[in-house]
Every structure is written in C-alpha cells, then in structure tokens.
Amino acid sequence: MNPLLTHFDTAPFSKIKNEHFKPAFLQAMKDARAEIDAITSNTAAPTFENTIEALEFSGQQLDRISSVFFNLNSAETNDEIQKIAQEVSPLLSEFGNDITLNEDLFKRIKTVYEQKEKLNLSVEQHTLLDKRYKSFSRNGANLSDDKKKRLREIDAELSKLKLKFGENVLAETNKYQKHLTDEKDLEGLPDGAKEAAAQLAKSKGKASGWMLTLDYPSYIPFMKYGKNRALRKELSIAFGSKGFHNDELDNQKNVLQIAKLRHERANLLGYKTHAHFVLEERMAETPEKVHSFLNELLEKAKPAAEKEFSQLEAFAKKLDGIDRLEKWDGSYYSEKLKQKLFSLDDEQLKPYFKLENVIDGVFKVAEKLFGLQFEEVFDIDKYHEEVKTYMVYDLDKNFISVFYADFHPRAGKRGGAWMTSFKSQWKKDGENVRPHVSNVCNFTPSTETKPSLLTFNEVTTLFHEFGHGLHGMLANTTYPSLSGTSVYWDFVELPSQVMENWCYEKEALELFAKHYETGAVIPMNLITKIKASATFQEGMQTLRQLSFGLLDMAWHGTDPNPINNVKTYEEQAFKGTNLYPDTPETCMSTSFSHIFQGGYSSGYYSYKWAEVLDADAFAYFKEEGIFNTEVASKFKEHVLSKGGTENPMVLYKRFRGAEPKVEALLERAGLLAE
C-alpha cells in the first residue's frame, strides 16, 4: 500500500520511500481530475456551493502529497528526489493548466461570478469567488486554443528551468570545500567557529585540519572574523560566482530563458511585462508604484550609505592600510568598526543565545502575546532525526497546530531559512481542521564542547521565520486557499518582520537570553549596546536590499529579449546602488534563488514594503506596551487569523486604525533627515 495514498494526518515520513512519489502523484492527479469532471458534468445550474466550493475542496490528497514531496526536495533532498522533481513538475504544471484552461469549468465559474451581487455571499466567499475567477482569467481561460497551447508549453518549460536553477545552486554550494591545514589561516576566527571547522573536516573524512564551505554557518563567521584577506577573497568569489562558471552547473542560460518565458507568458495574457502581471495582485499594484517606492527609499538611504561607506573605508585604511575596500572586506571591517564603536561583537552575545533557550524564548513571547503553549512531542513521524516536533495549544488546551522545527545545515538542505506547511487549515462539515507548520533554518550547529550558540542575526532569523509560522498556526478561515500565509505577497512578510522587533527589547530578552553556562540573564549594558547598534550601517543595509529589489524589477519589469549578457545587464541594474567595486568573476543573478526559483519574482521589494508595515505596527505595540494583550489580540484577530480573506490594507487599517506611515521605518532605521 502506498502510504501517500492513504488518508494520513501528520505526514508518514518513515513509511515513504522515493518510489512511492511518482505513482502517488499520478493517482492523485487522476482522482483530482475525476473531482473536476464531477463539477463540470453536474446538470444542476452552477452555484457557489456546487462549483466554487466544490473546486476549492478538490484535489486535497494531491496538495498533501505535493507539500510532503516539495518540502523534502528543499530540506532533505537527494539525486533521486531531484530526478523525480524534474519528472513530476511538468506533469503538475500540465495538470494546473488542465484546470485553468478547462472551458466547461470556467463557464460555470463565470456564471456564478456574473451573478455575485445577488448571491448574498460572506466577505470570505466574495474573496474566494473573485480569486477563483481571476485565477482562470489571469491564467489563460479567455485565450484562443493556439495561445492556450503555447501557455502550456511555457509553463511546463518554466517548471523545469526553475528546478534546474535551484539544483545548480545547491550543487555549487556543496561542491566548494576548502581544507586548511595551517592554523595561521584561521587567525581571527572565534574558538567556536574554529571548532566547528575542525568538526566539519572530520565529518568530511579528513584526519586533521579545518574545513570551510559556502554554507552560512561556515561562510559567514570566516567573512566576519577571518584575518586572511586572500582567503576571504577566495571564499567571497566562490560564494558570489555560484552558477557563473560556464560549466554544466552554469545558470546564465537558465536566467535568460526564465526571464524571457515569463515575459512571453505575460504578453500572451495581455500584460506589458511579467511585473505588470504579478503586481496586479499585490498591495503595490503596479511596477511604477514599486519603482517610486524603491526610489524614495533610495533617495533617503543613499547619502547615509555613502557616509557609512566612507567611514568604513577610512577605518580599514587606518587599521590595515587598505587602499581600496572590496566586497570581501565589508563584513570583516564592519565587525571591527562595530566592536570599536559599541564594544560589542557576536562572540560576547552568543553565550546568551543557546538555541534551546531562544526556542523557549520565542515560545514564551508567543504565549504572552497570543496565549499559545508549545509541548515537545516525540511520537510524530519526521523526515530527519534533527527535526523537533511540537503540539501547539491555546490556554484552554484547545489544539491549535502541529509545529516542526529543523535548524541545522545538511548536504541535502538548501541554504537560507523558510517557513512552510505540510497541511493547511480550513473549516468543513462543522470541523475546524488545524494546520501543520514547519520552520527550516541553517543555524550554527553544536560542537563537541559547545551547544548550538546563535549569532544575534540567527536569533532575529528564528523570530522572523516563527512569525511566518504564527501566521500559519493561528489561521482561522473557511477555505484552505485563503488560509494562513495565502495572502498578497507584499503582506506576507508583516507577521515575520514584526516578530524580529522583540529581539531588541529588554522585557523580551530577559525571558530567554541567559548564559548557557551560568544561567545569568543578559546584562543590561549588552541590551543597551544591541539597541544602540541596531541602526549601525543601516544606510548600507538598506541600499543592499534596494539593489536586490531593483535587480528583480530590471529582470521582470522590462522586455528581457534584447538581453544577451547576464552580467552586463546586472551591472546596469546595480548602477545606482553600488558602493564596492565590481568583482568581474561574480554574478548575483545566477544564484538569486528568491526570484528565479522561489516565489519572489517581481516581489523582492516586498521585504522593504513589509518593513514599513512592521515598523508602523510595532510602533503601536511600543505605545501600549510590547506585551499589551489588547494590541496583540487585535493583531491576531485582524492580521494573523484572517489569512487572505480580505484586502490586506483593509485588515491592516482595522488593526492599526490608519494606513501605515513610511516615517515609522525611516525613524527606526535612523534615516530621517536631522
């Protein structure tokens, strides 16, 4: 019996073998097609219930199988899973097109849509109907047959290209291993990072020495503390040139093809560019608005960034006689300058951020704000022994969610940090079906002598992903496609980014920032320094984020057909945001997974957009008290639980009483003109 075709609750990982996936996909697609046929062959007149709701709850087994499979492909992949992904992705893309290009189905949806004013629908039903109609009309339902055929070809091709892009980035990351045998090369590196490098060398079969890789917990400490400039340069170029070596793992062709196919697809559907197509369903609405938003922030941040860069250059020159600051010098001298200005470095802070304590801390914050309780359990099946599993309850012991947490890098896991889910939330037949949510990160692992001690940046990352997790866990909607994080893309980062604010607050830090050896609470002087250094080089950081947003818009907001050189085009896009000299051997686009593999195409600006929302939202908490339950319950009720059931600005205004102000962000970032 194929475990993926049974009615499972939590995913039955230990029973699943790779050979189960493809047959399960094929069967589930067949079953879902039968459900669609039942809707289209229904002789009764189309109604909201027999068409829109029936469609919403169709294909649920396929959704569950997809979530298990693609989450594994991100967090615990191997060659076999990657091969299956290449086989099933075009089939799923074809299946999706079979639905959105199904004329009989669209006719029924259109009939219901055209009488929506007379149907006495709830707000959520209205949103679902609107979303469903648009998902058809925006994906080719109104096209002629030859154009529909071309759309299918594009979608199948894109699904394969995006996978290939991601596989190449992962392979490039895993390929680079620097084995060091001279301890002098590690000068400046903290003991914990050295020990981790020695442990890594051992795990890679080396009898002695130290190993550096491009995984964040290995790469970042070396770039920040490693004194050996030549080695920093080598690592920086290896990291920045992923997918840019004109070999079998090269992504330049993939980048151009993805951009060109997305553009052709948008044109086919009647849109000027891919960005015009995407942004129609975002808070920002148009590429013009995104550009003016990014440029307004650029105008405010650039003078500060240039001033900070000059200060850093002067500092590096004075300290080590560096004439020209290069990209591989940035982290190193920034850290040194930060230590000089604030007498603060990550090594002082890490003993207070033992991973288990930080997890406990984020749970306590969630309890104080939203009345949640997390209970670690050991009887839920998991895909890797490192994964932790929790049952989440409210204060009355009502079951809220299952929560999976997976924190350390592995060969089969892509870089970065993300939230995902194995099961959505919905309501049907009087039952509120609760979600299964997961956070996946790549944090500093424990060593033989030390537990996993997080950098402050890793602490904020954990809180960030947990904010997405809360958005999933606290979902309380009727329809799965409107539940949890199924919101406008430029709204999805609000719950995650707002949670980061608690990491800077004394009241919150005192709950969990305790020395892993002595149990002493983090001293007040360190909390003061954390707050004081929060806006350190904020201009440079902002410029960096804006450069990524502008690169994304350059690829997707214009016609990419004349582009034939990825690197040259990228240089043009970066022109107004460059501080460091260009490194010819590197290219950002060829490993920019957010936009070429993930869902951020034409959406990278949303990090900054959501920062405006989160700064404005947290200002409200600050006014009333960071653990004020009244403000927290408004946030839970109007933002976290509502998913995508209404326009996000309507939800935000209900929580805050007004639209967000960009000034809140500029003030927090220290970028308001004096």
Q: What are phi and psi of 458, to 5 degrees?
A: -70, -35
Residue 668 CA to residue 92 CA, distance in Å, equals 44
Residue 45 CA to residue 50 CA, distance in Å, equals 9
As to burial, measured by CB atoms within 10 angstroms (0-12 exposed, 13-18 middle, 19+ buried), residue 524 is exposed
Tell me the Cα Rg of the chain. Answer: 25
Residue 650 makes CB contacts below 8 A (sequence gap 6+) with: none
What type of residue is 114?
Answer: E
Residue 468 makes CB contacts below 8 A (sequence gap 6+) with: 418, 419, 439, 485, 492, 495, 496
Residue 271 CA to residue 291 CA, distance in Å, equals 18
Q: To 10 degrees, the CA torsion angle through 277, 281, 283, 285?
A: 30
Check if the beta carbon of residue 71 is closer than 8 Å to that of residue 387.
Answer: no
Quick one: DSSP state of residue 638? Answer: I
299 is catalytic: no
Residue 235 makes CB contacts below 8 A (sequence gap 6+) with: 178, 212, 214, 219, 222, 223, 226, 328
Q: To 10 degrees, the CA torsion angle through 43, 47, 53, 59?
A: 30
Instruction: Give the three-state DSSP class for 394.
Output: strand
**DSSP bridge partners of 406:** 440
Residue 275 CA to residue 134 CA, distance in Å, equals 17
**DSSP bridge partners of 116:** none
Q: Indicate the angle between helix axes 252-268 and 145-175, nearest 10 degrees.
A: 160
Q: Which of 76, 167, 458, 465 is catalytic?
A: 465
CB neighbourhood size of 253 (10 A): 12
Check if the beta carbon of residue 453 is closer than 8 Å to that of residue 350.
Answer: yes
Closest by Cα among 104, 243, 268 to 172: 243
Q: Indicate the angle between helix axes 538-556 and 252-268, nearest 10 degrees.
A: 60
Residue 2 CA to residue 17 CA, distance in Å, equals 9
As to burial, measured by CB atoms within 10 angstroms (0-12 exposed, 13-18 middle, 19+ buried), residue 395 is exposed
Question: Which helix H or strand E contains 492, and what residues bound it?
Answer: none
What type of residue is 238?
Answer: A
Max CA-CA distance within the chain? 82
Chain mean position to CA 299: 27
């899973």: which residue's tokens?
Answer: 81
Residue 255 CA to residue 170 CA, distance in Å, equals 16
Check if the beta carbon of residue 499 is closer than 8 Å to that of residue 393.
Answer: no
Closest by Cα among 399, 375, 401 to 388: 375
User: Which phi-psi region, left, alpha or beta, contains residue 10 (left: φ > 0; alpha: ψ -120 to 50)?
Assistant: beta
Closest by Cα among 566, 595, 402, 600 to 490: 600
Would you name the residues annotated as active-site residues?
Answer: 465
